Each structure stands twice: as C-alpha cells, then as structure tokens.
Amino acid sequence: MSYLQRSRFRFSLLFILSFAFPVQAQIDLSGEWGAVFHEDSDERRPGPEMVEYQGIPINEAARRRALSWSPSLLTLPEHQCKPHPSDYGSRGPSNMRIWKEIDSESQQLIAYHTRIRWQAPERTIWMDGRGRPPEYAAHTWQGFSTGHWEGNVLVVRTTHLKQGWARRNGIARSDLSEFTEHFIRHGNIMTQVVMVSDPVYLTEPFIRTNNWKINLAQQIPPYLCETVTEIDRPQGEVPHYLPDQNPFLREHADRYNLPLEGVLGGAETMYPSFIE
C-alpha cells in the first residue's frame, strides 16, 4: 500500500469512526414525550384501589403500614402539593419534556433535565461524572441522579430520595431507597425500566416499565398547586386506621373474587406460580 493509499485509508477510517463512536451521548433523548398508558392503565390512571398490593415485593412492615393508611391524609395541607417522587413520577400523568444542558465551550453533555406534567417535578440527571452529595445532605422528591451510557441505553442511578410511595394507596417507600433506570429509545418510542430497592419496605427490587411516544405538539402546563384547609381539624391530628380497623380490607379482594392473601402483596404475588 502506497503512502497515499495508506493516508486515504486512515482518513476514511477516522471519518467512519467519528460517526460510530460519539464521545458522549449514544442517542439523544431530548424532546416532548407523550405518556403511553397501554401498560398498567388501571393502576396509573384511575389509580389503585385500597388494599390492592398484589405484584409488589413488600414486606410485612410495608403491609401493616399500608393497612393503616387513610386517603384522608391527603386532606392535610402539608400533604396536598407533594409531587410524585422520581421513581413514581412516570406512573402518573407523565407527559414529559427532556432537554439537554451542554457546556458551551466543550460541547460536552453536562446533564439531562426532565419535567413531568403532574405537579411539574423537574429533575436533573448529571452526566458529567460528578460525585454524590454527602449522606447528611438533604433528600429531595427527585433525589440525586447520575447517568452514563451503556451502548444506546442511558443508565441512571438515583439516591437521596425523600420518603415516598411505591403505589399510591399507602404502600410506603423509605428515604433509604435507591433506584436504577434504563432509558431505551426506539425511534419515536422510549421505554424506561425502573428498579427500586428499599432496605426498609421491599424484600427484593421492585421493577416497572413505562413508555412514551414522541409528541411534537405537546405543551406542559406550569405548576399551579396551592394548599387549602379542606377540613378543620385539631392541630396535630393525623388521619389513619388503627390496626385491624381498615374498613376497606376486603373491598378489592371481594370485588374481584380474589383471596385476601393474594391482594396483600409480597414478592410471591409477582410470579405466575402464586396464582397456580
């Protein structure tokens, strides 16, 4: 191979590689994404029923806590405007905007930002390799997220979460939880796989998937929540059910003719063998 041929070959190789291996993002996730509710629609839109815990790997502590939970808790002003935590935000009305923060000098990707419709939580996924805050730093609804690419998949790890919920019928998720997400884009469809671990309330990781479809006409409204005192209560009153006094204990089970032990959840209820 002559010098000229070798030079042409090297240039061609470099040209091809420059497209094949971008330095940062493997695929861009930016855009307006409309939530697709074909999966778990009943749980995600009208919402789960009381004492409908099946399919979640909760332990006995989570079960007892959920059984003491009263929806009236949400009448307390301090509870009214809480956004979904980031591990749950994709489950609700989750039309989402994703945008990139780029360093203007280096053109390196610093972060992805997301905003979701319901309660408008904004979240940052740091892509610049920064370290996590110390353990004594504040926890937030969205937590502290860092991401990296595995091929075309954005993998995100989130810590520093506030106490939240695994399902919005009283199943608690503790502030010691962490979760990992995989964002997978297939053209105009994006899938998110969320794997939550909780040393307090889960016996094994709780895994869910959510999907979006690109929506170029989407507009996400501003955050407009204001608290109101719906019921005058004595200061410090906290609505809840005492043990063994939840009036909805059997409602869901009876409506669908299910055994009570089935609707009370636990890892075993995630698997087909439990039904058998």
Partner 1 sequence: MIINLNIIRSIISATALCFCLFNSGVTLAQQNFDDVEIKVLHVQGNIYMLVGEGGNITLQAGEQGVLIVDTMFAPLSDKIFAAIRSVSDKPITYIINTHGHGDHIGGNANLAQMGSNIAGGNTIDLFAAGAGNQAKVVAHENVMASILAQENPIPIEGWPTDTYYTSKKDLFFNGEAIMITHQPNAHTDGDSLIFFRRSDVISTGDIFRTTAYPFIDVANGGSLQGVLDGLNYILDLAVPADRQENGTMIIPGHGRLTDEADVLDYRDMLTIIRDRIAYRIDQGDSLSQVKATEPTFDYDDRFGLNSGTFTTEKFIEVIYNELSIRN
* Residues in contact with partner 1 by the rule CB under 8 A: 60-62, 64-65, 68, 73, 78-79, 81-83, 119-122, 134-141, 162-163, 174-176, 199-201, 223, 225, 235-238, 240, 242-243
Residue 223 DSSP one-character state: P
90: which 2 tokens?
Answer: 């994709």
171: which 2 tokens?
Answer: 């199943």
For residue 143, the minimal CB distance to partner 1 (Å) is 11
Q: Which is nearer to partner 1, 56 or 184 (CB)?
A: 56
Give CB contacts under 8 A, 24+ apart, made by 158-164: 158/86, 158/87, 159/132, 160/132, 160/133, 161/85, 161/86, 161/87, 162/85, 164/84, 164/85, 164/87, 164/88
Q: What is the CA radius of gyration of the chain?
A: 23
For residue 119, the minimal CB distance to partner 1 (Å) is 7
For residue 70, the minimal CB distance to partner 1 (Å) is 10
For residue 174, the minimal CB distance to partner 1 (Å) is 6
Among 212, 176, 209, residue whose Cα is nearest residue 195: 209
Q: Which is nearer to partner 1, 16 or 238 (CB)?
A: 238
Q: Which is nearer to partner 1, 83 or 265 (CB)?
A: 83
Q: Which is nearer to partner 1, 42 or 230 (CB)?
A: 230
For residue 163, the minimal CB distance to partner 1 (Å) is 5
Q: Which is nearer to partner 1, 173 or 252 (CB)?
A: 173
CA–CA separation, 86 and 94 (whole Å)? 11
Could you list the beta-strand ranges (E) of the chain: 31-36, 96-102, 109-116, 122-126, 144-150, 153-159, 164-167, 171-173, 178-186, 189-197, 206-214
Q: Which is nearer to partner 1, 61 or 207 (CB)?
A: 61
CA–CA separation, 266 and 276 (whole Å)? 16
For residue 59, the minimal CB distance to partner 1 (Å) is 8
